[in-house]
């Protein structure tokens, strides 16, 4: 018996040792939890896809690539259970040569990088709205450390541990996984056709896993010339902060290639410019300039050092492909704005003449900048137009870029001698209209437009740095808007410490090499996305050159989904949620379809266009899969007599629905109708509502009406969503959207009113407005999928009333521990949403028995007991329409309790709150007609923001922000 015990113990020790050897280290596990890569579930080698903003998704199966000649494509591989370095060179990742039946690509067409995680703080309202994901601090796959790929082989002992990415001594052996990135540069002379290769994982000299790679090379060549110029202007202060040894003590105009003391500075500038150019992008520097002296009214400019510095970039000598930079801004003396206009004009005359002499002027422009943030005001447009006119007049070939759209540019006339001369307009580069645009008001033709990603335009659009789709969207939008240049914000990170979490929307092109212990800048995944975006533009350009201009414009519209604002239509921030295409598969399909369209026509301006019916059918199906209209519930009007006369036993609802026509077709004879309503609702016989022809890429509002029978109030009216269906009159296709439009009774307490102490002891199920999950606020993927999303936590909401007051009680889960909030009762907002702390928002508007509404009341509560309440009075009767709500009583408690979440028990903080609002406090003091009257109805909504996850949800919805007074549910005071 003892022998058996001994053998069992030995076996247990051996098994434990083997298990420990095979277990990934805990730092790697933490990275998986933070979202750097997906959990291992498959082969040791898996294809990694960067379709998720937070992590690479690994899948089994082959890597499939499609590319034109002279194009660079990329793929990523997740290596799971990285081999241990039991002996030198024991583990390796290997890529075989790409071969077809009669051709092969040399090994030097591939370059390898290790994808390293960088910390990001996703606690941004824009991130939540744009991605629909919860906030957190994540390790995102962003940095690309160059790896030694010797004859297609990369040793494991050259890879770093993802848990210690900035340490050059760390090793990946034994890690749960590493991510590898491979660039494949297709030679312009490559033979079109299908190629295959294999990725292999070697362990102790043996192949332990393989991953096939399939490449299709198209029969056309991307040009060396960049038809879309992607420019990132490096801020000089960023260089000083991130490269202090090279820039902190340097005067920009004194930098000289001939002076050894500037050798490290010049080398860093060269590295940044070369790395950007290799990815079909351009990095410029805001303070580089010649030496300028002002002995009199005319400048004396010494170009010696400046010319020597920039000539290799602007002539192409610095680059292996000898392709010169397609754009370089005209340098500006940093003190120029202090001089008189005549002296400024003299400077621009001399500068333009020098650039013209060097044959650079056609690839340059002087920039008129906007000071301060926010939209351009009319007075600013006038001043910038005046400055642009002066600069244009300084040289007949000089171009000038302005941050003004074409209809904002002031044109010189008999009544306006400060505007731009009509004869100079072809040299003026206006800002192109963004994703959401208003119609240009008769602006004359001007020079090529440019897109600027660092200003909001009509509507802020976040997400450019979130994933590849968002980066590519700007290139397709540039093609749609006729822009030839995209200006990106500074391509260097804004923080100086690699351990500091960054903004996920930052478009960082490269990190300082010193962060990783290397001597050159480290490219980012985002820089690869920009290269993909520029190559997309070249596909569109070639398609247009081959007379496919109808097809590629339609495709650009379908992928970008712009919104055209009509005259007198207010730009709604929710429109940005309709733009773009969040489905990654659609992007992949688009570029393959575009390639097939290109190959339908032979090159040459006079070539005849041929039609392939199979390709055209696939294109039609691709368009049809995405051109469904988007519906948004915009406002609710509850009251008496809105539809067909008053009636105290019937409440009328007029629901306004926005319809976005995301199709290039103009459907007619469309309809909109209720297709699912709770019991007790009545729909007018006139349904469905006839919808007239819709303008392309425009948003229009239409009304649906319903009646709610008060004598049939039931739980389904508060718990069941309503279904609304749009039917396309062109092809009969339908689009369904769901909304929560709750109607609930608010009953009187006859004996004992609730105590406002935060205990909820006096509330019963009969008082319940909600007992379950509320509705998440709008986010872009849900809007585009027309999906009603429920909150991740349960809530209880109650209401009742007495002769003197209205009461609300609530119980909320998932709240952070209580803490003191600084800044008084001021609520921080991002993208119009309460942010940065746990909050609730109540919206209440009384409706009296005669159908007249009272003031809109907005109340914000915190778990620590702070409260803020205000009401909007009738502006016609009150000099100060914004008033406080007096005598409001609010109490809250916060206790840790066990809750069930996804089938598991866990402790969470539970926030209980109770609110008492006197009826008198709800009224408008100037409204004598309804003095001392209790309302018959309450337009009501309740919203919660959870700080831990960034999730916002409401009782009625979905809405875009808690203060949306136009969209509410209804309480019937009985």
For residue 528, the SS3 value is helix
Q: Whole-angstrom Cα distance, residue 876 to residue 209? A: 76
Taking Cα atoms as reference points, which of 589, 583, 598 lies closest to residue 618? 589
Q: Whole-angstrom Cα distance, residue 872 to residue 473? A: 41
Q: Treating both helix axes as pointing N-terminal to C-terminal, what angle do 468-481 and 525-545 enclose, rounded to 10 degrees? A: 30
Note the helical H segments in 600-667: 613-624
210-217: average pLDDT: 97
Residue 537 pLDDT class (50, 70, 90 cuts)? very high
Q: Which residue has better confidence, 124 or 265?
A: 265
Percent of the chain with pLDDT over 70: 91
Fill in the DSSP letter of residue 919.
Answer: H
- Whether the pLDDT of residue 77 is over 50: the answer is yes
- Whether the pLDDT of residue 756 is over 90: the answer is yes
Q: Whole-angstrom Cα distance, residue 320 to residue 310? A: 16
Q: What is the mean pLDDT of the chain?
A: 89
Taking Cα atoms as reference points, which of 771, 761, 768, 762 lies closest to residue 798? 768
pLDDT at res. 465: 66
How many other C-beta atoms are found inside a 10 Å radius of the C-beta of residue 789? Answer: 19
Taking Cα atoms as reference points, which of 427, 435, 433 lies closest to residue 408? 433
Q: Whole-angstrom Cα distance, residue 252 to residue 240? A: 11
When mean pLDDT is compared across 26-30, 313-317, 644-648, 968-972, the lowest value belongs to: 26-30
Q: Side by side, which strands form the sheet with 681-682?
A: 630-639, 650-660, 699-709, 681-682
Residue 19 pLDDT class (50, 70, 90 cuts)? very low
- Whether the pLDDT of residue 40 is over 60: the answer is no
Taking Cα atoms as reference points, which of 432, 375, 378, 435 lies closest to residue 406? 432
Residue 702 pLDDT class (50, 70, 90 cuts)? very high
Calculate the CA 926 to chain-centre distance. 46
Taking Cα atoms as reference points, which of 822, 912, 921 lies closest to residue 869? 921
85-111: average pLDDT: 86
Tokens of 699: 């948003």
How many other C-beta atoms are found inside a 10 Å radius of the C-beta of residue 833? Answer: 24
Taking Cα atoms as reference points, which of 583, 589, 491, 485 lies closest to residue 534? 485
Task: Classify residue 364 as left (phi > 0), alpha (psi -120 to 50) or beta.
Answer: beta
Q: Treating both helix axes as pointing N-terminal to C-terminal, what angle do 584-598 and 525-545 enclose, rounded to 10 degrees? A: 40
533-550: average pLDDT: 89
Q: Side by side, which strands form the sheet with 57-59?
A: 57-59, 45-49, 72-80, 177-185, 110-121, 137-147
Is the Cβ–Cβ distance between 641 and 647 less than 8 Å? yes
Q: Tell me: the pLDDT tens digits for 408-465?
A: 999 998 888 889 999 999 999 999 988 888 877 778 899 999 998 876 666 666 665 6
Q: Whole-angstrom Cα distance, residue 437 to residue 131? A: 23
For residue 278, the SS3 value is helix
The helix or strand, by DSSP H or E, that contains position 8, with its residue range, turns out to be helix 2-22
Burial of 260 (0-12, 13-18, 19+ CB in 10 A): exposed
- Whether the pLDDT of residue 35 is over 60: the answer is no
Strand partners, 670: 691
Q: Which residues contact 827 (CB under 8 A, 6 or more apart)?
A: 834, 839, 860, 868
Q: Beta 689-691 vs 743-746: how paired, if at all?
A: unpaired
Q: Tell me: the pLDDT tens digits for 337-370?
A: 999 999 999 999 999 999 999 999 999 999 998 8
Tokens of 151: 């004859």
Q: Whole-angstrom Cα distance, residue 719 to residue 724? A: 16
Q: Tell me: the pLDDT tens digits for 774-831?
A: 999 999 999 999 999 999 999 999 999 999 999 999 999 999 876 544 445 678 899 8
- Whether the pLDDT of residue 88 is over 70: the answer is no
CA angle 928, 934, 940 (to 5 degrees): 110
Assessment of whether the complete model's pTM goes beyond 0.75: yes
Strand partners, 705: 654
Q: Whole-angstrom Cα distance, residue 190 to residue 195? A: 11
231-245: average pLDDT: 96
Burial of 237 (0-12, 13-18, 19+ CB in 10 A): middle
Q: Whole-angstrom Cα distance, residue 702 to residue 694? A: 11
- The counts of H helices and E strands in the chain are 17, 51
- Whether the pLDDT of residue 600 is over 90: the answer is no
Q: Whole-angstrom Cα distance, residue 594 to residue 559? A: 12
pLDDT at res. 457: 65
- Whether the pLDDT of residue 609 is over 70: the answer is no
Q: Extract long-range pairs of 386-391: CB within 8 Å, 24+ residues apart.
A: 386/410, 386/418, 386/419, 388/420, 388/428, 389/418, 389/419, 389/420, 389/421, 389/424, 390/341, 390/344, 390/345, 391/344, 391/345, 391/348, 391/366
User: What HEC string does 185-233 produce?
Assistant: ECCCCCCCEEEEEEEEEEECCEEEEEEEEEEEEEEEECCCCCCCEEEEE
Strand partners, 329: 365
User: What HEC string does 358-426 produce?
Assistant: CCCHHHEEEECCCCCCCCCCHHHHHHHHHHHHHHHCCCCCCCEECCCCHHHCCECECCECCCECHHHHH
For the chain, the distance separating the N- and C-terminal CA atoms, rounded to the nearest angstrom, is 80
Is the Cβ–Cβ distance between 40 and 176 less than 8 Å? yes
Q: Treating both helix axes as pointing N-terminal to C-terminal, what angle do 378-392 and 341-357 enclose, rounded to 10 degrees? A: 50
- Identify whether 306 is preceded by a cis peptide bond (ω within 30 of 0): no
Tokens of 431: 């800002």
CA angle 829, 831, 836 (to 5 degrees): 35
How many other C-beta atoms are found inside a 10 Å radius of the C-beta of residue 329? Answer: 18
pLDDT at res. 161: 94
Q: Beta 110-121 vs 177-185: how paired, if at all?
A: antiparallel
| Exposed e or buried b per residue across 442-453, where buried means at least 16 C-beta atoms within 10 angstroms of its C-beta | eeeebbbbbbbb
pLDDT at res. 27: 35
368-382: average pLDDT: 85
Fill in the DSSP letter of residue 322.
Answer: -
- Identify whether 688 is preceded by a cis peptide bond (ω within 30 of 0): yes
Token pair 């690309």 in the structure block, residue: 144
When mean pLDDT is compared across 117-131, 443-457, 507-521, 716-730, the lowest value belongs to: 443-457
When mean pLDDT is compared across 49-53, 299-303, 549-553, 838-842, the lowest value belongs to: 549-553
Phi, psi dihedrals of residue 140, rounded to the nearest 5°: -100, 145
Rg of the chain on CA atoms, in Å: 32
Q: Tell me: the pLDDT tens digits for 829-881?
A: 998 999 999 999 999 999 999 999 999 999 999 999 999 999 999 888 888 89
Residue 90 pLDDT class (50, 70, 90 cuts)? confident
- Whether the pLDDT of residue 643 is over 70: the answer is no
For residue 808, the SS3 value is strand
Fill in the DSSP letter of residue 936.
Answer: S
User: What HEC string does 897-916 produce?
Assistant: EEEEECCEEEEEEEEEEEEE
pLDDT at res. 28: 36
Is the Cβ–Cβ distance between 107 and 97 less than 8 Å? yes
Is the Cβ–Cβ distance between 666 and 692 less than 8 Å? no
537-546: average pLDDT: 93
Is the Cβ–Cβ distance between 754 and 800 less than 8 Å? yes
């Amino acid at each position: 018996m003892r022998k058996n015990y001994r053998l069992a113990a030995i076996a247990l020790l051996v098994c434990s040792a083997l298990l420990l050897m095979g277990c990934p280290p805990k730092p790697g596990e933490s990275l998986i939890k933070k979202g750097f890569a997906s959990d291992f579930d498959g082969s040791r080698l898996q294809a990694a896809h960067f379709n998720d903003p937070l992590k690479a998704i690994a899948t089994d199966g082959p890597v499939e690539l499609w590319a034109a000649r002279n194009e660079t494509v990329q793929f990523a591989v997740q290596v799971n259970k990285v081999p241990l370095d039991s002996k030198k060179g024991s583990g390796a990742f290997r890529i075989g040569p790409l071969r077809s039946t009669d051709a092969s690509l040399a090994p030097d067409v591939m370059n390898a990088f290790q994808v390293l995680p960088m910390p990001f703080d996703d606690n941004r309202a824009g991130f939540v709205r744009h991605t629909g994901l919860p906030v957190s601090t994540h390790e995102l796959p962003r940095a690309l450390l160059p790896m030694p790929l010797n004859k297609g082989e990369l040793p494991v002992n050259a890879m770093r541990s993802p848990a210690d990415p900035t340490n050059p001594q760390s090793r990946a052996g034994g890690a749960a996984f590493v991510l590898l990135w491979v660039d494949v540069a297709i030679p312009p002379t490559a033979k079109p056709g299908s190629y295959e290769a294999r990725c292999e994982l070697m362990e102790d000299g043996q192949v332990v896993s393989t991953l096939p790679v399939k490449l299709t090379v198209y029969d056309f060549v991307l040009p060396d010339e960049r038809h879309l110029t992607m420019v990132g202007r490096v801020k000089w202060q960023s260089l000083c902060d991130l490269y202090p040894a090279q820039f902190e003590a340097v005067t920009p105009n004194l930098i000289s290639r001939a002076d050894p003391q500037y050798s490290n500075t010049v080398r860093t500038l060269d590295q940044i410019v070369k790395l950007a150019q290799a990815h079909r992008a351009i990095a410029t520097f805001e303070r580089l300039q010649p030496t300028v002296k002002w002995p009199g009214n005319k400048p004396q400019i010494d170009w010696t050092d400046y010319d020597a510095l920039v000539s290799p970039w602007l002539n192409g000598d610095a680059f292996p492909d000898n392709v010169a930079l397609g754009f370089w801004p005209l340098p500006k003396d940093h003190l120029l704005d202090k001089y008189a206009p005549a002296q400024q004009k003299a400077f621009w005359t001399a500068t333009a003449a020098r650039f013209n002499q060097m044959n650079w002027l056609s690839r340059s422009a002087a920039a008129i900048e906007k000071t301060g943030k926010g939209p351009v005001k009319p007075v600013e447009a006038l001043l910038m137009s005046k400055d642009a006119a002066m600069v244009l007049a300084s040289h007949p070939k000089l171009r000038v870029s302005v941050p003004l759209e074409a209809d904002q540019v002031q044109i010189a006339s008999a009544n306006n001698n400060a505007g731009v001369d009509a004869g100079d307009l072809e040299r003026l580069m206006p800002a192109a209209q963004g994703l959401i645009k208003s119609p240009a008001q008769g602006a004359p033709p001007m020079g090529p437009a440019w897109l600027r990603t660092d200003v909001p335009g009509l509507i802020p659009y976040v997400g450019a740095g979130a994933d590849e789709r968002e980066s590519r969207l700007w290139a397709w939008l540039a093609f749609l808007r006729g822009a030839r240049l995209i200006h990106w914000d500074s391509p260097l990170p804004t923080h100086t410490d690699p351990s500091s979490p960054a903004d996920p929307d930052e478009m960082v092109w490269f990190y300082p090499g010193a962060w990783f212990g290397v001597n050159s800048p480290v490219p980012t995944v985002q820089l690869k996305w920009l290269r993909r975006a520029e190559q997309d533009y070249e596909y569109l350009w070639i398609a247009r050159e081959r007379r496919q201009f109808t097809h590629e414009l339609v495709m650009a519209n379908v992928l970008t989904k712009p919104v055209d604002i009509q005259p007198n239509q207010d730009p709604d921030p929710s429109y940005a949620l309709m733009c773009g295409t969040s489905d990654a598969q659609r992007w992949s399909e688009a570029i393959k379809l575009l390639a097939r369209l290109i190959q339908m026509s032979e090159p040459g301006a006079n070539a005849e266009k041929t039609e392939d019916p199979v390709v055209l059918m696939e294109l039609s199906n691709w368009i049809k899969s995405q051109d469904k209209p988007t519906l948004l519930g915009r406002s609710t009007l509850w009251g008496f007599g809105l539809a067909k006369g008053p009636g105290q036993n019937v409440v009328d609802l007029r629901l306004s629905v926005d319809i976005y026509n995301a199709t290039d077709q103009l459907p007619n004879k469309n309809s909109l109708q209720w297709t699912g309503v709770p019991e007790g609702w009545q729909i007018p016989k006139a349904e469905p509502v006839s919808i007239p022809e819709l303008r392309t890429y425009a948003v229009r509002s239409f009304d649906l009406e319903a009646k709610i029978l008060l004598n049939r109030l039931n739980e389904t009216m508060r718990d069941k969503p309503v279904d609304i269906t749009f039917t396309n009159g062109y092809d009969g296709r339908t689009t369904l959207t769901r909304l929560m439009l709750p109607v609930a009774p608010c009953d009187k307490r006859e004996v004992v009113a609730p105590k406002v102490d935060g205990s909820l002891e006096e509330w019963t199920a009969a008082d319940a407005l909600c007992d379950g999950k509320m509705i998440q606020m709008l986010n872009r993927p849900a809007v585009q999928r027309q999906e009603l999303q429920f909150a991740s936590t349960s809530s209880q909401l109650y209401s009742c009333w007495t002769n003197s007051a209205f009461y609300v009680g609530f119980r909320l889960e998932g709240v952070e521990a209580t803490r003191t909030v600084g800044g008084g009762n001021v609520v921080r907002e991002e993208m119009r949403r309460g942010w940065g702390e746990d909050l609730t928002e109540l919206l209440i508007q009384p409706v009296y028995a005669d159908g007249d509404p009272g003031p809109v009341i907005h109340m914000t509560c915190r778990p620590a007991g702070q409260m803020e309440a205000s009401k909007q009075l009738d502006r016609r009767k009150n000099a100060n329409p914004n008033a406080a709500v007096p005598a409001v009583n609010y109490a809250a408690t916060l206790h840790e309790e066990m809750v069930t979440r996804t089938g598991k028990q866990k402790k969470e903080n539970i926030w209980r709150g109770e609110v008492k609002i006197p009826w008198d406090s709800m009224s408008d003091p100037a409204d004598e007609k309804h003095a001392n009257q209790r309302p018959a109805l309450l337009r009501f909504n309740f919203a919660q923001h959870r700080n831990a996850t960034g999730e916002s949800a409401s009782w009625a919805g979905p809405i875009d922000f808690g203060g949306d007074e136009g969209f509410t549910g209804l309480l019937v005071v009985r």
